[in-house]
Amino acid sequence: MIAQQWWFTYRYPTYGGIETAQLVLPVNQKIQFNITSLDVIHAFWFFALGVKADAVPLNDNVVTATPTQIGTYRVQCSELCGLWHGNMADNTAMVVSTSDFSAWIQQQTALDAPIMKYLPPYSHVYAGSNLPQPGVYAP
């Protein structure tokens, strides 16, 4: 999970490092969140999973959780991070079946193909030339 003013993006290193603006997780699978920030301190709060962790530039905050209920959930920033802090709330995080997750990953891989060459390699933290370039990806 990568926080930045004023949204979250999600990278899936197990699936080639694709990056999305929506969090989608498979049900009943342990998930490791590597939480970082590109700019200021944020906090990733996925209340339904009991996950609340700071997103700090140049730090990798690791949290694990296992979603057990299929559904749509809220994710939000819980650390005042600037003028548009309130914009960092999303009611579309999804926990889906394993088969739906596989189909979604295939779709996202195809959608991300044109921009993958512009994204930096997946990393637990981003700094300097390793930062995503402005305009490469926007939700």
Annotated domain spans of the chain: 2-118
Centroid of chain to Cα 90 = 11
Radius of gyration of the chain (CA): 14
* Cβ contacts of 47 within 8 Å, gap of 6 or more: 73, 74
pTM score of the predicted model: 0.84
**pLDDT tens digits for 31-53?**
999 999 988 999 999 999 999 99
Low-confidence residues of the chain: pLDDT under 70: 128-139
Q: Looking at residue 90, what is its pLDDT?
A: 81
Does the domain at 2-118 match CATH 1.10.357.10? Answer given as no
For 21-32, give the DSSP string: SS-EEETTS-EE
Q: Are 46 and 73 in contact (CB under 8 A)?
A: yes
